[in-house]
Amino acid sequence: MASLPREGYNDLCRRLRIVSLSVERMRLRPHIFQAEAELGWLGWEQVEFYDSEVAAQVAKIQEFERTQASLQNTSAEISVKKAALDEELAQENARHDTALAALAAERAPLAEQLPQAEAARRQKLESTERFQRAVNEISALEKRLEADSHSFMNVENPTIAIRNEARRVSDEIVQLGMERKHVLADKAAAVLEAEALETTIAHLRAELQRIDAASDAARDSLAAATRRVSAEMRLLDREKEKSSLEMAHLDKEKQLPYRFIGACLATHGIAPRNQPEILEKAVTLRDRDQQLAEALNDLWAVCSATDPAILISFYFLILTLVFVLCAVVVHLV
């Protein structure tokens, strides 16, 4: 029992060393995989020992390469289609801008003429109303003068003054008749001009409506083309994304055959023509992994050779001490 603490301590140190080396080996394995895969990627075409397994891995890589080449062609075709759609949309935008600019240039003078024509028509209608009021005033004055003329005619033995007044009234009635004709002529001219302006206004409004409808149609056409191109773009993007995902998946799938061939190249000491230093890197990592494996085997062999009774007693003692220490801490707290 005198060797119990020493043997137990040595076993504990060995097991901790086993844990440390196992962790180091776990961390080393991805680096070995990557180095061997890179070695296989650089040198798979120069494998000179085509046994059945290596040939099968080379065939896998060649199939992956053919599939990826097809996917790259598909991706290139998709890019060409997207470029064509971009060009088509750019041309549609250019046509739209040109059409709107032409319509705007056509609309500007018409839009300027319409309020002017409407203002002129209002003026003619106001003139017509003024002429009508003047005709009404002339008619009222004529009625009063005719009444005066009749009253003068009914006077027996009229005086010179009455005769003179009757003559003046008669002359004024004649003058008012002439004024009526002039006012009626001016009114008729104003009505004709207002009617002509109404025709002009109707034509201007129709032309503006036509231009606005054409502008709306151009905008709708552009919107429809944009929606169509966007929908086709989304389909192409999904196809390209699918192709990219398949290529990424193939890149991952190629790692295994690359790693297999890289391991063979490292075993046979064959360096790739391009970047031959990768062979030394892979061999160094594999040697370190081998050293760790041998060290672990040696440690496990020593652990297995230790007397189990001593180990059981040691670790039971350790657990007891830990339990007592925890009890003391809980009691003090």
Rounded Cα distance, 135 and 179, in Å: 9
**What percent of the chain is predicted at pLDDT more than 90?**
31
What DSSP letter does each residue of 55-82 carry, written as one string?
HHHHHHHHHHHHHHHHHHHHHHHHHHHH
User: What mean pLDDT is reported for the chain?
Assistant: 84
The whole-number average pLDDT for the span 8-34 is 88
The torsion region of residue 159 among left (phi > 0), alpha (psi -120 to 50) and beta comes to beta
- Rounded CA gap, 103 and 212, in Å? 8
| Cα atoms found within 13 Å of the Cα of residue 217, Cβ hemisphere only | 8
Please tell me which residue, 167 or 102, carries the higher pLDDT value: 102
List, in sequence order, the alpha helices (H) in 2-51: 4-43
CA-to-CA distance for 239 and 164, rounded, in angstroms? Answer: 111
Q: Which residues contact 170 (CB under 8 A, 6 or more apart)?
A: 149
* Angle, CA of 237, 239 and 241, to the nearest 5°: 65
Lowest average pLDDT, out of 148-157, 187-196, 224-233, goes to 148-157
- Residue 31 pLDDT: 93
The per-residue pLDDT for 2 is: 42
Reported as a pLDDT band with limits 50, 70 and 90, residue 1 is: very low
**What are the residues whose beta carbons fall under 8 Å from the beta carbon of 201, sequence distance 6 or more?**
114, 117, 118, 121
pLDDT score at 48: 61
Q: What DSSP string describes 82-93?
A: HHHHHHHHHHHH
Alpha-carbon distance 208 to 103, whole Å? 10
The tens digit of pLDDT for each residue in 105-158 reads 999 999 999 999 999 988 988 888 888 888 888 888 878 877 777 776 776 677
Q: Is the pLDDT of residue 274 over 60?
A: yes
Identify the top-confidence range among 55-69, 109-123, 169-183.
109-123
CATH of 48-254, one of 1.10.760, 3.30.70, 1.20.5, 1.10.287: 1.10.287
Full 3-state SS string of 261-297 = HHHHHHHHCCCCCCCCHHHHHHHHHHHHHHHHHHHHH
pTM over 0.85: no
Tell me the two tokens of residue 158.
Answer: 């009229």
Domain ranges for the chain:
1-45+270-333, 48-254
What mean pLDDT comes out for the span 204-221? 93
